[in-house]
Amino acid sequence: MSDVPPAADAAHADIGLVCALKLEVVPLLERCDRVRKYTGGEFVFRGGLTGEDYDIRVVIVEAGTGQERAARATQALIDAHTPNWILSVGFSGALTPELKIGDIVTANSVVDMTGDELKVDVRMTADVERGWHVGRIVTADEIVRTVAEKERLARQTEALAVDLESLAVARLCSAAKMRFLAVRAISDELSEDLPPEVLSVFGGTGSLRAGAIAGALWKRPGSAKDMWRLRERAVTASERLAIFLTGIIPTLAESSRSR
């Protein structure tokens, strides 16, 4: 075993982030300096420097959608970069009418659809006027598309929002005794269905499938408007997520350095 402390390790990251899709973190990357993209095994990593003095190293792994890929990507992130914190970040669907596009939910617990739950030691307070919420996030097995499905899931779990990855990341971090947060930006509200095409446009790795998009437009030309609106909301959500993360990352990095 090496006696070199993690801070002296050139590969070490202060903050590691797990996302499903690059589009969730593009605005965050634009706020970083010396961003570098590289491939490790089956996953794409992007690393850079952030903070007021650009002295905080962040590494983002693009996992693709779903818990299985998220768990593997998290383990790859730990193995390669030994981060002090791991954050599950990205988009989520609102399960309460109060949550609007671009609102931020930080999890104080993450639960699956069977009720299996992990508590999260989140030392943040909600600021509803600024669109910042603290509460339970449920990780589903597949995209929750319709209003009826969202309402049923809300009654079942009493969660504020739903995603597809956070519980897998939380479980792995818990087993490895690593500090963890789930921070999610709302990209679809409770009051509207997602377009049915959303279920087919993502490949097995969570990447956009150009062929599926073309097929959707051929079958239902009106889907173009729906998909464009979905993209606009994703851009808004990713911008708000970047603003929030840029604010909390220095605090998280300082907390680990002062230990």
User: Which CATH number goes with the domain that contains 17?
Assistant: 3.40.50.1580
Instruction: Choose between 91 and 259: higher pLDDT.
Output: 91
The chain-wide mean pLDDT, for the chain, equals: 87
**187 is a domain residue:** yes
Residue 10 has pLDDT above 90, yes or no: no
Type of residue numbered 249: I
**1 is a domain residue:** no
pLDDT digits over 99-151, tens only? 999 999 999 999 998 889 999 999 889 999 999 999 999 999 988 989 999 99
- The domain of 198 spans 6-257
Type of residue numbered 108: N
pLDDT digits over 186-219, tens only? 999 999 888 765 645 454 444 444 444 444 444 5
**66 is a domain residue:** yes
Q: What's the whole-number mean pLDDT along residues 225-234? A: 77
| Cα–Cα dist 23/53, whole Å | 26
Beta bridge partners of 62: 19, 44
pLDDT (0 to 100) of residue 214: 43
**47 is a domain residue:** yes
Instruction: Choose between 89 and 7: higher pLDDT.
Output: 89
Q: pLDDT band for position 226 (50/70/90)?
A: low
Q: Which of 59-63, 97-101, 218-222 has the least mean pLDDT?
A: 218-222
pLDDT (0 to 100) of residue 1: 36
Burial 85-115 (b: 16+ CB within 10 A, else e): bbbbbbbbbbbbeebebbbbbbbbbbbbbee
**43 is a domain residue:** yes
Total domains, the chain? 1
Instruction: Choose between 222 and 249: higher pLDDT.
Output: 249
**pTM score, two decimals?**
0.88
